[in-house]
Structure 1
Amino acid sequence: MNLFCISVDTIPNVRLTGHVIYNEPWMHFTRTIDEYILYVIKSGELYIKEGEEEFVLKSGDTLLLEPKIQHTGYRKSTCDYYYIHFKHPKITTLNVNSLDEIAFNILNERKTSLASDFLSDSLPTSPVCYLPKCYHIKNLSPIIYLLKEAEFDYYNRYENYKILTSIRLIEILIKISREYISSEMEKSTSFLSKGFIKCRNIINFLNSEYHRKITSQDIETYFESNYDYLNRVFHKLTGYTIFNYLNIIRINKAKELIDTTPIKFSEVGYLVGIDDPYYFSKLFKKYVGMTPSQYSKSKC
């Protein structure tokens, strides 16, 4: 399969964006242009051909057309869709037989990202996103929201409107890429499939519940699986035990509170799920290399 590799640390140049609704059957015109076009179908159908390849796009489908390849409609239909024309200097095409290697890399990047200093000037992970030429979005609503915002920014034409529209596009590309890669992992026949789903669900659970007391029994009950089994799978895929991962989340949240609020250290511990001030200070020093007080002073 061919994937587009897009560096999202470079802002694309959005040339045009918009939303069209054809209530009467319509067929796309023929053209060849020197920019990419992202189509996102809200409802109806769009029949479009690029080069020799034909696509039938329905609600939730996306298509990324390439520069200097002729595209044309080949059948009339009613359609409601959004489009973004853009140029980007850092898009390449990658031919892969399997997504397993990409999946491993992304899992490692997520592990690195979790342990990184969120206030660091450097990027903790690669800025590359992977997109298929054509993809069906499962969760369309957030994408439509961003497309509406991009259209609003573009046509109001306030200062820096093209930059703001381009940033919306980057967010759209990242969200589509995340959903696509996660979806492909779930369909994989390798060990990544079920293990990855469990791991991802545990991470989501920890990120939403870190502020309260969590026990191994809580995790067993919530996921209806043996804790030791879940912990082995989690460690195999992330390099961390479940509670080590939870502690990193809590300490990163604590650092954020210390950096941005005047809250007492004991209250910081309580807000991130650690009631005992002594244990919070000890845990903080273990992961940060200094006590909360020392950390606070180092930021002054």
Structure 2
Amino acid sequence: MQKNRALGSGFKGEKIVVIPRGMLHIQNNRALTHHLYITDIGYFPKAVSHYRKRPDGCPEYILIYCIEGKGGIKTGNRNHEMLPNSFFIIEREKAHTYFSHKTQPWTIYWVHFAGTSADHIYERFIGLNQGKPVSIPYQQNKISEFEYIMDTYKLGFTDQVFEYSSMLLHKLLGSFIYYSLKSNTRTESNNDDLVKDITEYLNEKIFESIRIEDIEKRFSRSSSTLFTLFKNKTGYSLIHFFNLIKIQKACELMNLTDLSIKEIGYKLDFRDPLYFSRVFKKYMGTSPSAYRKSL
């Protein structure tokens, strides 16, 4: 295997865009790009003897999308096999090696990205997939998105192009992370079903109060397990979500009925009108009376 065969080493049909390093500060300091931007992006078809070793890692995160052939990625003491229609994100500043298969060389699209949101995107990837390559259904539009981003840079390295490519990168990474959700184990699928059941249960009980004991009994799980799962899956605490849908229902009732604010609060099991008003304002940013007057 050729040592350290790197970017731009000459794969027939390759495409590479490297943002001039002197211009990266522009993206890092612009309101519409500092959160997420591209530093390099490319395409290597049938990359025979492709080999890259970075003992000190790379300043950016690297997404590698294998569409044909095979390859391998080593991060730390973990080895990952890359198969057709799989992707992986390499952590920034972490030692790594990646290489193409000797007899079935990979064809890959890849992108280096950075920005204030990059860490969060990587954390999302790790949290959903335990840091393993993700198999995804083949979709031509993913390839088209890579090609379109590379073509966009033909317009020049201008502020508008940097801003546009940042927005396109958000969409591209989102499409990969979305499919990473679908690659989880059956346990994850069961957890999704459980969260859906909890959500439906809360909506059924919207005109009532709920005790922790009720939830534990209904789903045969400890409250800590249920609360943690719900927060991880939805981003909301269970109590926050329950209050949120109650306030959404209150808004609906104000729009569609002549019930007084006190009656609406009581109907939603807020026995104290002042407490109802405080909760309503917390979620809606205005008092119930001001909200009704605005209708």
Which has the higher Rg, Structure 1 or Structure 2?
2
More strand by share: 1
Higher RCO structure (Cα 8 Å, ≥6 apart): 1
Structure 2 length normalisation: TM-score? Answer: 0.48
Q: TM-score, normalised by structure 1?
A: 0.48
